[in-house]
Amino acid sequence: DTAVSQTPKYLVTQMGNDKSIKCEQNLGHDTMYWYKQDSKKFLKIMFSYNNKELIINETVPNRFSPKSPDKAHLNLHINSLELGDSAVYFCASSPAQTRSYEQYFGPGTRLTVT
């Protein structure tokens, strides 16, 4: 059983395009996250949603817009893609928004902007 799934796994696109990455979790968790892992493997949180409400929004360009249609899904839409957006994007979920729970990560989406 897949706990946290992401689609697509690979995404190659040109600068200026708009793309979306989807994330779904079947763990019944209330909180979901998006992380970005750059080419040096550095991981940084981008967004966090709890029960469809945005609770963490790090300093991310407003070209990035998360959308949570329900608490099991957190999609990431990126407008006007730039070369610097190339990275691996990880979705994660946890049972609740407090610190006392580990996060479960999806397999990642490798985005390449050419």
Using CB under 8 A, list all residues that contact another protein. Answer: 31, 33, 35, 40-45, 48, 55-56, 90, 92, 94, 97-108
**Between 15 and 54, whose beta carbon lies closer to another protein?**
54
> What's the rounded Cα separation, in Å, for the pair 71 and 31?
7
Shortest reach from residue 13's CB to another protein, in Å: 21
Number of other residues whose CB lies within 10 A of the CB of residue 84: 9
**Between 48 and 68, whose beta carbon lies closer to another protein?**
48
Helix, coil or strand: residue 80: coil
> Regarding beta strands 31-37 and 43-50, do their DSSP bridges make them parallel or antiparallel, or are they unpaired?
antiparallel
Token pair of 1 as six digits: 């059983």
Shortest reach from residue 112's CB to another protein, in Å: 15
Shortest reach from residue 110's CB to another protein, in Å: 10
Shortest reach from residue 6's CB to another protein, in Å: 9
Sorted by sequence, the CB contacts under 8 Å of residue 17 that are 6+ apart come out as 80, 81
